[in-house]
Chain A
Amino acid sequence: MGLIQKSQLKSPWVLHFDCGSCNGCDIEILAALTPKFDLERFGIVNIGDPKQADVLLVTGPANKRNHRVLKNLYNQMPQPKLVIAVGTCACTGGVFHNCPNVLGGVDNVVPVDVYVPGCAVRPEQIIDAVVLALNKLAGLAQSEEEE
């Protein structure tokens, strides 16, 4: 069992969904994949297909139009799965907090495991967030084993 758990920690494939952000965080996520930051060091691949993804990176506030898309994508991801809210908007709505069409943070729609503040977030923060999320997954897997 140890081997599989280790694999889960070593190979988080991410799915990125833009929920209505300003693009700042999106391009930083992409930037995190590029040579300077190279998320692939951690086995991270931007897979783009919810059915094969482990980590859902959400940017931007949930709004009245796209919350169903977010929900759908989350439901199409098999367990174990993690959700990381990337950016201030995804955490709370941020600068869009009083926009009429915005529901607020994405935790209104799907359960969020890690919140990353920043507008826009820096690639280093994304790396930190993934490490945090994986720690949480490790904790989860351990507690399951105890049961």
Chain B
Amino acid sequence: MPKLLGTIIRNLFSKPATVNYPFEASPLVEGTRGSISFNMDRCDQCQDCERVCPSAAIKVYPDDKKIEWDQFKCIYCHLCVETCMHKAITALDHVQSPDYKKSVTVFES
């Protein structure tokens, strides 16, 4: 007797395990590493985040007090969040959504 038969028949008569995602929300786990956001009021343009970023996704322009964050280059490791001494970078738990074009988020004070 094939060993999977029981499981298969049980599956057939039970509710699918599927989360009908775009039509119902996917349950988010606490502490998910998602996008980041810069609080320019706290930032003192020390460029630590730019230095530690493994994928060089953050560009700090100290003169213009401007930070460019390339969300299509970021690997969402949140090392910058850990590193920032002024807690100027906020970790968000929603993930970046796909897009037709690559774009860069600019934070200005």
Please list the residues of chain A having a beta carbon within 8 angstroms of any beta carbon in chain B: 35-38, 41, 84, 88, 91-95, 97-98, 105, 107, 113-119, 122, 124-125, 127-129, 131-132, 136
From the candidates B20, B76, B102, name the one contacting A119 in the complex (CB within 8 A): B76
From the candidates A93, A115, A117, name the one contacting B100 in the complex (CB within 8 A): A115
Please list the residues of chain B having a beta carbon within 8 angstroms of any beta carbon in chain A: 16-22, 26, 54-56, 70-77, 95-102
Q: Which 3 pairs show the lowest CB-CB distances between chains A and B?
A: A119-B75, A129-B98, A116-B98
Query: Chain B interface secondary structure, helix, strand, loop or mixed?
Result: loop
B56 and A88 within 8 A (CB): no
Q: A92-B70, A114-B99, A122-B95 are in contact. List 11 more A-B contacts (CB 8 A).
A: A41-B18, A88-B73, A88-B74, A91-B73, A95-B54, A105-B102, A107-B102, A114-B98, A118-B96, A125-B96, A128-B22
A139 to chain B, nearest CB (A): 10
